Every structure is written in C-alpha cells, then in structure tokens.
Structure 1
C-alpha cells in the first residue's frame, strides 16, 4: 500500500508506533479503516497534507487528486449548503481546543450525494496557534437513510395513531391508560387524550357497565394473550352507556414480563341497536308487535321441555276472528289492520305476563298458557278472552261486534310436540266454528273434522304429478331503474279436476307433510329450466328464472340434481336463480353454507326469500354465498303508512348493499310503494303493479312485447 504525503516533514504525532516497528504496520492499519484519515492545514484553502487511501472509496478521487488541492480541494466536495456549517463548527471547537464531530454531505466524483461523519482535532503550536487539523472521515449514508426511514415510519405511525377513526390505546394491567389517540377520547366523551388519561384511572369500575366484562377481558389476556371483537357496554364521561368492540393483545418484554396491553376500540352502538331491531322484527309481527310464528314455536318448544309441577298443564290456544274477512274485504286492509291491533291488545290484557300471545298469521292468534292447574283455570281464561274480544269496536262512525272461535290443546294430554299441539288446537278451533262460533272447544280425538279433508287432499296430490295437473306460472321481475324485465319467478299452481285452480299455500303444506314436496320441487326445476331454454331458442329476451326450494330439497344431493337438470335442459347456469327462505337458511347454517357453496360453483344465482320474517345472524349472512335478499311482501305492503315497516325496508336495503347483494322487493301493488323503493335504492321489484303470475302463453307474449319495445 502506498501512503501519499506532502514534501513537508510529517509531524511525529502522526506515528504512534515505536520507532523500531515497521512502517508497514501503520500502512496496514490505515488501509483497513473504513474511511479516510487526513491531515490538513487550518487556512482558507484547507489544503490536505496527508490523505489515506480510504479517500478513493469515500470521495471517488485518488489521494493525490486532493493532496495540496492539486485537482480539487476537499472543501469543494462538501455540499454547498453545508460548507458554512462545517467551517463554523470546526472554528468553534478550535476556539475551545476541543475535539469536533460533524455530520454533513459531500458530492463524490461520480456525482453521488453521500452523508459523512467527521471527527477531528486541532494540532496546536506552543504559542497556541493552530498548526493543522487531523481527523477521520467515514461514510454514514446507510445509517442516515436507515434513521430517516425510522423517522418516516414513526411519523406515519404517529399520523395513523392521531388520525385513526378507531380508538387506539395502551393500558397497564392494573387498569390505567398509558397512551390513547384522539379518536378514543371522542368515543368516550373526553376533551382530549390527556384529559382521558388523567380522568380515567380505574378502567374496571369507571368504564365498564358490567364489571365482570373487565374480568373476562383479563382472563382472556392471561390465557390467550389477546381478545378479538370483545363487545362490552361502557360509560361515556357524561354517563351515557354505549357499546364498544375491542381488539387487543398483551405486550411482553424480552424476558417475558408483561409490560402493557394495547389495542383498538370501535363504537358499535348503532350496529347493536340495528341488530336488536332486526332480531325483534325477525321474531315479532310487524303489525301487532306480538311474537310471530318463529318465536311462538321456540317458546312452546321450551315450555314443553321445562320440568312442570306435578299435574300442571300447558295450554295451546288457537284464536280465530269470526267476522274478520268481511270487515277486511268491505272496509279495506287499513281498517282490518286496526282491528287486528285492537284484538292483540285485548288478548294480552286477558293473560299473565308469563303467558305468550303470538300472531300466527292473518286473523289467527295463538296463546301459550303455562302452569295451569286444571281445565277450570283454562276455562276462566277462555271466558275472559271471549268477553274481551266481543266488546264493541268502532271504525269511523260504525260500530262492530267481533267474536272469536277458540280451540285448546293441552300438554301432555293432547300432544307431546309443538306440531301436534298446534295442529290439535287448530282442529278444536274449527270445531268451535262448526258449533256456531263465539265459543271455545277443548281438543278431543274424535273431533278433528279436518282429517277426512286432509286425507282426500293427500290422495289427490299423489295422483297430481302422474296426471300432469301441475302448471307453472311466471311473474316478471322488473328493474327499478328503467322498468325493463330482468327476470321471472316460477310459481306452481295445481289444476285440480275437483277443486279447480288451487293456490300453493293450500296444497304445499300437505305436500310437505306427505313427503311429496321433493318430487314436486324436482318437477318445478325441470319444467322451469326447459321453458327458459325454449324461450331462448325462440330468440326471446334472455333472463334468469327463479325457482323456490323447499327445505326438504336443501341437502347434499341437491347440487348434483341441479347439475343434471341443467345438462338435460341445455340451459346455462347463469339463467337459473334458486330462492331459499330465510328460516331455511338459518335452520342448519353450517350444512346450508356447504350446500350453497356447491350450488354457486355451478354458476347459478342464489337469493334469500322472505327476508326479515326470520332471524339471520349477520355473521352467518356474510358467509352465505348469496346474490340477493328478497324483502317479504308483508313489509312492502305497509311501507307507505307504517314507519316501522319503512324503517325495516330501508335497513334491509342498506345492509344488502353493504354486503354487495341485490335487493328484490316482492308484493309491490301500487305506485306509492314503487316510488318509496325507488327512492331508497331497491334494485328489483315484482308484484301485481308490474304483472300478476302469468301462464306460459301470456308470459311469452309479454317477453315479445318487451323485446319489440327495446328494438
């Protein structure tokens, strides 16, 4: 290695090794340094008297280029913006006769900008004047860039922390806040993060409404080290109670000692209120506010499973209004609805708080009376009901006397399961009607007048498929944006030789009961797919046709059957939509998800029918591979005059769009309903306002007219 030096005699202080050691040792030491050793004059030119070979790696210049400023002076390499600072710092250190350390930028020979660290000292003459500067310069660009990256990361973290919508926190295990962001202060109602930290010193007692939630939080942290979606009720500073959801983890040091907890907080009060409203609407009748059939079945199931007092009875009471159809048809649905609400209030006034009054549907109510001592106590309640319902009722300037027919079944005497008890109470109610109405009857085995009719219905149904008595009608689905037909729903009808055209609500329950619904459902699917393919081959508008699925069809074999039908009909899966009811979806959610995923893989569409009448867990709804929610017509019917129904419809539309689902409203019968749905962002509609269910010939004509108008 060559050490370049000036012709000026080197200062002995540069050589620290004993004179008897080889100069080669000094050369080796300097060559191995990651940087440049120098000696330069303390004058205006800062001429270099000595430079080690590290100069080339550092500056891109050879040592002789800088020696005595032969090609360029080192000061010229210093970035122009830093030269004054470097001069000033060195001058200050020399004035104090102390070492100097400086970080600044240089411009290499190749134009690269590099950060360097220089450490040096002044060499003083005996008279105190400065003879020279000696020091070492090292490239620190990587460290500076790393520090800058850390600073930038910290700045970004701080920005996220300060501007996050969610609350962010760190707390001690004892329950005090160490750090919080402005969002958490706003959520909890404090003026600033500092205000929250100072004021809220005991999380368990000051924050949580239920102290055990903090205990549960601590238990999870100790056992699992984290919590996810941990929901609790907490107090805001002003005492208001809100819902929050927390995600947090325990932070430990390298020795495994717990330092603190950190996490995020989201305010979920609106969501919790919405879920509660959805749950209430799912289990309660929208018109009367009474429990609906779903809640009735669940309640009755629990009632017959709870251990009873010895000899105590549970009564299932079926109440049917005798003159309701006349009032509803002659005075209109609005008057009929008011009557139903009045009757609901009267029935509730006749029973204990522990009893249940539910609306079965239409003008039918079901009561569940638990822990009845004997038939006499049940009879007393029935007499109160007959009297209460029969009180005069006014509609405008007219007064009506409404009576009721009541049937009662008893557990365990008349049945040991929900279906049997309801069926037998229904049979007893029909016996009460047969005996002149405005009376009640206890069920007896011999009195079920419906048995023979049901048997006749079942026999006829078994023959209907073989005799080709079923027909499919098609109701158009219309785009709310432009009124064009974008789909159709296939609806089954029974052309019975004895009874004429029978609506599905009359024979489907019997088909379900007799196990005929699966072959009937298969016939519907085959017929609908074949008809849609026929329309396409005729050059008509290509639209998906929706087919309703029975709960009994929704099993693991369904995807294979659907695939077979599509193959047989040569219909592309994109033109088939399957509709399943909300209650069916939730009956066995895990099994349903698997079946629906298999169906979706075929390429067809899936919609949830009668949405809002059952109870869908939102967490499950996100998992179901469905394309659309279909709002039940019971809500659509009342949206123009009932605030609750309107709110439910708005909420369903909003929920569906959040989940990227289409919204279909059924049962649209007038412009007022259509206008409400259009203004609130509904996607599709169907109902009598756009077309009743039509025969194949009529729907074919409608498609032809639609196609002509588009052309």
Structure 2
C-alpha cells in the first residue's frame, strides 16, 4: 500500500506550519508532493495519522524502522507494529493530542515486532486541522535517541561509580583557580565527611580554602603555590580548620594544568588527613627528645661504642667530662683521643671483655682524669649493646662520679669519731621527736645515760623557765626553715637548772618527709654568769647598783624613740648633790660611798618602776620619766626628791646627823630637745642654774640658759685665742711682813683683758679653762712668766722675792715628775722662790697624784700654802704630813675682825695652832689699818690686801719694789728667815 495520494492528504493537511496555537494545517498539493521527496531523505522519523490513529503518511526512515513495505504500514495503527502495552501507550498519547488539541513532547520507547529491537526516541506530536479548524489527525516527528540514551545511561553509571569511589576515598579531590586566593571550582562530596563543610560552602567563598589554613602555616603554603613557575607539582603539609573548630593535619598534592602557551590555567589536587600520622611523628619526636633529655640530664654519664671501642654517642654530661661542650664532638673518637689518655687502655680492655664474653661488668670502681688534670673516682657498669637480631654490635656504659661519696664516707667516719669525742652534747630524735641516740658529752653535761632517755620526748628536760609560746615558735621555725638555734634553760638529772646554747637541725628523707632531728648544745651556765657580770660591770654602777652612764644613754635614746613613736612627752632630771664633796673629803670615802648608796635607795622610792635612775659619776644622778606630760607630776617628783634627800643621813655608829641637799635640772622632750645629747645638755644647764640660784631646788631648762651656754662656748673660744694673742697677763699682789711692813712676797694672779669685753674676772674664765683643758697651758705660762719676773727683780734689786702661784687638782695631776724643779734648775733659780697655793679641799682629797706632787715639792724646796684656810673641813694631820709652809686665813674672817670677837678668837686660834706646827700665817683681804694692827697683836706673820695694794701689773709691782730698794738687805734677811 502506498502513502495516500497528495490530494487525499491535502484533504486532511491544508497547512504545513503550526499557527499560534501550535496547530498544523494541510499544505497545498504541490508542496506536499515536493516535501515527500525531501522527507524521505531525512533520518528523522516523520509520520501522519488520522483521527483513528492510523498511519496515512510515513517517510523512508519510518519504513526502514518497521522494516515493512509501505502498503503494510498505511492504514494500520500502532498495534500492528508494537506489542499491546507499548501500542496502547503510543495510541494514548495520540488520542491526547487529537482530543485535547495539544502538542506534546516526550521520550517514547518502541520495540519493533519484526526485529524485537527496542528504540528510544524523542517525539513531538501535534494536532492537524482542516479549514474549519477541525482536528482531522495528528503529525509526529521522532528522533532516534537510543545511542544517546545508552551513552547517558553509561555516563550515569560511570558517574555513580565515580561518586561512590569519591565518597569512599580518603582523599578529597578538588580543582581551583591558578591565582590567589585560589578559589575552588570543584570539590568532591567526601569533603563533608572529612572536614564537616558542604561542597557548596567550600565553593561559594573564593578565599575559603586559604582562610581556613592555620595562621602559622598559611604564609608557607601560599608562598609555595607562587612557585609553580618552576614546579608543576607541590606536596604540602598544613593544618586545616574543621567546622567544629579543631585543627586537622592535611597532606595536599597539587598539580598545575597548563595551556598550549605554557600558562597555568587551573590547579587540580587532592588532600588527605594525616593528623594521626603527624601526632605519631610528634610523639616520636617528643619521645626522642624526652629520651635525649633523660640521657642528658641523668645524674650519670652514659656512652655507647662500636665493636672497635669507637664512640657512637654519649650524653652531654659525658661530653663535658671529656672536655667537650657537645656529644657530637665525641662521636667517632676513641678513649685514647680524649683527656683520659692514661686510662684509655684500661677502658678499652674492659670494653673488649664485655663484647667478647657478652657478660656485663657491673659496679666496679676506676679512676678518670678530669679536664683540669685532677683524678676522680668512678663507679662504672658496662653491658653488651645488641641489635634487633640479638647480635652484639658494641658496648653500652654508665658511670657515676663517686669522688664526693667516697669523701663523704670518710667524713661519715670522721663524724662518727667526732660524735663520740665531741665536747658538745649531741642528741638525735626520730620523726616523732622521741630520743634515738645521745653521745658521751650529753651524759657528761646533763647527767642522763642513754637508758634514762631512749624513746622519751625531750620535754623531760624542761625547766619551766620557758612558756608554751617559746616552744611553739621554736617548732614553727623548725618546720619552715629546718633549723633553730638559741638559748634554752633545762634541768640536769640532779635537778639544778643550767643554760644551754642549742642548735637543732631537721634531717629530711628524699621525699622531704622528716627523718630525724639532731640537737647539739653546750653548757653556757658559767658563760651566762660571766656575761651577766660583765654586763652589770659595763652597764651598772658597782657602788649603788643603779644603771651607769652607758646604760643611761642607751635607755634615754630608746625612750626618746618610743616617745616619738607614741607622740608623747618625757622628762629628764639631772641631780647634783650639794656639799657631798665636803662630807667625802672630811669623813672619808667609805662614809661618802655609804651616803651615795642611801641616796640611791631614797631616789628609787621617789619614782615609778617604769622610770630609770642612773648614777652618772661622782655625786651626779639622772632620772628618766617616760610618758609624763603633766608639769605638776614632774614638779611633785622633784619636790619629793628634794625632801627625801634633806632628811639627815646617819653614816656611823655615833648616829650623828649629816645633811646634804640637791640641785635638780629638768629638760622635757620634745620641747627642750629631740635627741639624747641635746636633752642631756639642757638638763645639765638647768641643774647648774639651780646651783647658781642657791641650791636645794629644781629649775626647768629655758632658752636663756641656752644663750648662756652659747656665750660660754664663745668665751671658751676667745680664751683659746687669748693665749696666742697675749691677752692674758700676770698681775702681782704684794704680801707684806706685818712687823716690818716690807714687801717680801707676792701672789701671781691672772688677768684677761678682752679686746671687746674689757677685763674679764678670773672667776669667769678660770672655770672655763678647767673645763676646756686650757688650764695646763695657762698654768705653764703663769709659772714661766713668774719665774722670769722673779729673776728680773733679783737682778734689779739684789734680793730674792718669793711668789705664790695657784694650782688646782687638774694642774697638779697634769704635771710631769719634777717638771717645776727641772725648769727652775734650767733658769738657775732656787726652789723656794716659788710657793704653790692649793685649796684646803684639794689637800683633803689625798689622791695618789696630789700626795706624790706635794712630796716632790717638799723634797725640791718648793714651799706650799693652804689657801682660804678655815672655810672647809680641816685635817691637822695633813698639815704636818705634807710639811705645809703657810696658812692663808680666809678674808671672811679678816673682814669681821674688828667687830666680831668670835672671828678674832678664830684667827687667834689659827695663828697659835699654825705657829705650834711651825707654819707661818698670811691674812688675806686686809683692807684697813685697824685690821692690820689687830693682826700684829695676834701675831700673824703676813698680810695681803687692798690696804696696801691690789694686784698690779709687773711694771707697777716693780715700782712698788723700787720704793723699798734701800731695805734690800732687810728683805733678804726676812726671806732667809721665813
């Protein structure tokens, strides 16, 4: 059967192109006839069916598909060519197009009955309409896509296999751009399994890969990728951040893809996780480092050698022993090449013995030479060095320097000997402080045998002198510092208490737990007594038991600091006993000492226990009154002291009352001074002010006293200058023979004419000279000047004139032996041209120096006068003992001589007594003719006073001598007789 003729097809098909609704109309007859030829040449399957689904046109390709002649195709539907199921599906599609008037496009399958071949094709079916727009059939075009579908199926299968391989592969495959930041263009899905990120996340951010590399690795990795100019492959290891935040190690293999021009167009690579491997590598490195550290820090020396005794390695300590700073310098050497050449053969023989026999040589001692040339002792062990097959490949050695250990053993032996023979007691207690051992010295010092104390606590020795706080502090120091030492009082076995100087040390185990306690002590009881005695001698007055000046200064300094800290006042009292000197000189030192002891007791009763009383020396005392800021309380204490010391003292069995008084100076901290020296100085000034004000009273320090002290200092300075400026002059007051009225003696008196202040009284500057030490220099000047003047007058007038010079105890004490006599001999002058005047009190002191000088004067012809006789406590025995030449009757008796019969009787008694002792008398202060006449009647020998002349200059005194020049022989005779 042929295709329907064109006219029939035309009846159905009036248009070839679909309209806007997708409907095909039948073309003209001529067009159909031309198209058939063209369609037959097309490999696409083209067909037309009527509304019943029967083929009314097919092209050559359809005919070949069905493999049937045209007459067996035209007029038949699909059931004729395909099985029932497929034909129903195809016809269903046809009816849908015809009934619905819709174009469909879909994939269809067909199995040709004639061949059984399954064909897959892509079909487009459209409705065909006539001029009335009625659907009269359908037109279909099918393209054979069987091969394409097979290819797609194969590709799908391949993709699934590849997907499976990729998802199960340990490597993540990716591609990325060849330039920074190397944005990923592809990544396999197993990325999620490895790193937790989705592929979309990885691909969506251009710098995702670079930003998630560990900061410490990023620069190195990116720098390597820039080097693809010379390498097309890179293997990198770096850390990459997991989505959960931890880091994983990656091994990334990257290849560069290049175009024909040689430019990199893409990078392709894969990376696998190697965290476990890196951790194992790190663990291996750490293990090796640990082993190396252990070997290098081990307290022993470690080395290993090959079969020929060449060093394969050693630890750092061994290298240092060999004089090298690192083990690498030892490798490959033999012992003969190291500093211990002398022991090399010995070491090598030991090595070979161990290698040959396979038997270790353990714990033997051997010598070794050190880098500085010393020889030390080693304890060495050597064992065979074996490989994995248990073959001996060398020797492993270990040694330890036991030189100190050997020395310690010697020391231990010595210590054991010392322990037994030590003079100091040693006691060892266990960790529970129970006695384990004692040495013989312990028994000797304490009286306890080992059996008495073993297993007991040392508290059995406690004397009760120390409270619990003392022992608590001891144990605290032992626990924190491991050592305690100090003084402790314990009981001897016989019960008496003795002092010990104890040292306790804690001995620890290797784990720092207590092993034992070692106590070492010596008996310091006698030393304590001696120290107490020395302390008492150094700090206390032996006579009164009061603190002395040293102790007082220390206590005053501490009280000042305490008052400063507490912002409080304190007071200082200086006391000087009035007229004590008279009692001491008259009654003797024994009675004076007794009085001082009684004064100490009375002072103690006047103050509090917290106050300090000190004897500063002689009859001077000081009292510190801390924490007293009430002036009334200070004055009450001062008045009580004055009252208590005014009560009569009974110093002998005769129960005679002896009276003294006291002058007190008061200085208050901080107003009168903030340091010890200032406060003492001001209290002393206040005390002297009290004396000057009449004694038996107290005075507070005032600023006017400070001014007086300043003036005194200035005057002392001027006095020093006065000596060099010749401001001091020797004046002479005539002494006349009362019976003849002639000048036969004189007294040398010092005068100071100050350039600014004029004449300064001796009563002012002589005490300054005594205090400043200038009195000796001034006294020598007076003496030498006087001798020169006497010599001048002898040459001028032809007779010798005796001149009296005054000397204090200070001057007498400072004189060298025969100093005056030697000078007189040098000047060719006799000893009796000088008369030394001393006070009655100085004579009564009877000090060894005074006694010695007075006896020297007696032997050398220098005469001695007692000045101001009758005002003090006299001792007639001293007058005879020292062969006194003259008594100078004090002017206080002479002035009342005319009016007072008592004074007249006293002067008469003195003259009579003196003459009975072969002593001449000189009346001082004679001012009137009546006094002179009375003295003549009494029988006094000489007069001195203003009646005749005051003290005058040497020039004026020379004029006085000229007036009696014609009496020279008479005067010389008087001199010789006296």
| TM-score greater than 0.5 by the shorter chain | no
Which band: TM-score by shorter chain? Answer: 0.3 to 0.5
- In the superposition, the TM-score normalised over structure 2's length comes to 0.31
- In the superposition, the TM-score normalised over structure 1's length comes to 0.42
Q: Which has the higher contact order (CA 8 A, sep 6+)?
A: 1
